[in-house]
Amino acid sequence: AGFIKSPLSQKKLTQDSVELYCEAIGNPIPEIQWWFEGNDPNETNAQLWDGARQDRVKINATYNLHSTSTISISNLTADDSGMYECRASNDPDRNHLSKSPKVKWIRSQANVFVIERPEITTQVTESSGKLILSCNMSAPHPSITGHKWIHKEKVVEQDENVGAFTSYTIEGKREEHSGVYECVYEANPQIRGQVNISVPPQVTAYKKSEHGNEGDTGVLTCKNPSFPAVTTWSWSKSGHGLLENASGRYIIKSTGNKTELRILKLDIEQDTGDYFCNGTNSYGTGDATVNLRVRSRLAALWPFLGIVAEVLVLVTIIFIYEKRRKPDEVPDDDDGGSAPLKSNATNHKDKNVRQRNAN
């Protein structure tokens, strides 16, 4: 057996997680095991199993064309520091209790250093229409090379300062910029702090006015784009009070930042009106209004029927006009002109004949 990829040594902070990867090749396909030796001189090598250390250790292995194995440890503590060893062997007697294998286990080692996480003090202050976010590390880290501020997985500001204090300024009101912001200290390992801008729910309606046909299902939606998420959603109707799923006609589905009200078999008289969605979190409440209009099933036919009526009226007017219009008078030259011309031609002919006879 031989290693294609070996695990790499890493530095981590307490409460972080670490992942080590190992890949081996051989014929037959070798088995991979993970072993650990702590920093305590009296501690001996011990094999690691999936689910060890109160289920903080997870081991995934695949044996296809070659062997691959990944060990991950979550919520690291100082006791997780030490040497991790990836062992591979394809000897048939590798796990025999009394026989020693002919081919020894080959080994690849990596050290994991777990460093105590420094305390980071965070603060949000408001001044002259600005929000100032700040992070201050309790004990300066010797390897800081800069800072980053991250919001929604995007870097919004960065510098190359080496101090334990860093700040980020936002133009605008708290309600417009709520969310989770991270201050990142560029070091080895990387150190992160979290600054939260928290506000009451800023509830908005997906559409302020909704339309539905009688007998269909109406859908009204509200959302909360602010932080933190809504913990409790409720719906009510003007003149009706609180709406609940138990009523049979109303179905309410809610998640952290979205709620949806479905109204079954819409009724023009009963369901038309204003609906109110209300969201509550630990900082307060917020609401929005949605107006629902219910149309008759025949409402869609009215435009078509109107066009048909206009066409019928137009055709009727044209028909009546054609019936009442007087026939065109025949011009004088059309009928009477041909006879005189014929008569004149005859007369001239007769005259010419008489003249020739006279000569």
Whether 43 and 14 map to the same domain: the answer is yes
Residue 348 covered by a domain: no
Asked whether residue 45 carries a pLDDT value surpassing 90, the answer given is: no
pLDDT of res. 331: 52
Residue 358 belongs to some domain of the structure:
no
pLDDT: which is higher, 335 or 130: 130
Residue 233 pLDDT? 96
User: Of the residues 295, 315, 340, which one is the last residue of a structural domain?
Assistant: 295
pLDDT of the residue at 131? 96
Q: What is the pLDDT of residue 125?
A: 94
What band does 311 get if pLDDT is binned at 50, 70 and 90?
confident
Highest mean pLDDT among 242-246, 254-258, 308-312: 254-258
Q: pLDDT digits over 247-259, tens only?
A: 678 999 998 899 9
Examine the pLDDT at 168 and tell me if it is beyond 60: yes
- What is the average pLDDT value for the chain, to the nearest integer? 87
Q: What is the pLDDT of residues 146-161, one digit of tens each?
A: 999 999 999 999 999 9
Q: Are 24 and 33 in contact (CB under 8 A)?
A: no
Asked whether residue 264 falls in the same domain as residue 251, the answer is: yes
User: Which pLDDT does position 341 carry in this prediction?
Assistant: 46
CB atoms within 10 A of CB 13: 17
Q: Which residue has the higher pLDDT, 244 or 343?
A: 244
Which among 219, 224, 140, 154 has a CA at the least distance from the CA of 185?
140
Residue 1 pLDDT level (bands cut at 50, 70, 90)? low
Between 314 and 197, where is the model more confident? 197
Burial class (CB in 10 A: 0-12, 13-18, 19+), 353: exposed
Per-residue pLDDT band for 302 (boundaries 50, 70, 90) equals: low
- Give dist(CA 57, CA 87) in Å, integer: 17
Residue 43 falls within a domain, yes or no?
Answer: yes
Does the pLDDT of residue 339 top 60, yes or no? no
Structural domain count, the chain:
3
**Residue 166 is assigned to a structural domain of this protein:** yes
User: How far is it, in rounded angstroms, from Cα 338 to Cα 350?
Assistant: 19
Q: Which residue has the higher pLDDT, 336 or 63?
A: 63
Last residue of a domain, one of 166, 197, 228: 197
pLDDT-derived band at 349, boundaries 50, 70, 90? very low
- Rounded average pLDDT over 202-231: 94
For residues 42 and 22, membership in a common domain is answered with yes
DSSP 8-state secondary structure symbol assigned to residue 199: -
Averaged pLDDT for residues 206-228:
94
Q: Which of 164, 197, 230 is the last residue of a domain?
A: 197
pLDDT score recorded for residue 338:
47
Q: Which of 151-165, 212-226, 242-256 has the lowest mean pLDDT?
A: 242-256
Taking only Cα atoms into account, the Rg of the chain, rounded to an integer number of angstroms, comes to 45
Q: Are residues 74 and 164 in the same domain?
A: no
What pLDDT sits at residue 296? Answer: 80
Nearest-CA neighbor of 33 among 78, 79, 83, 89?
A: 89
Question: What confidence category does residue 358 fall into, taking pLDDT thresholds of 50, 70 and 90?
Answer: very low
Confidence of residue 333 (pLDDT cuts 50, 70, 90): low
* Residue 12 forms part of a structural domain: yes
Could you tell me if 249 and 265 lie in one domain? yes
Least trusted range by pLDDT, from 123-137, 151-165, 313-327: 313-327
Q: What residues make up the domain containing 147?
A: 120-197
Inform me whether the pLDDT recorded for 53 exceeds 70.
yes
CATH number at residue 171: 2.60.40.10
191 and 238 both lie in a single domain: no
| Within a domain: 107 | yes
Same domain, 110 and 137: no
- Give me the pLDDT at residue 345, please: 45
Which helix (H) or strand (E) segment holds residue 193: the answer is: strand 191-197
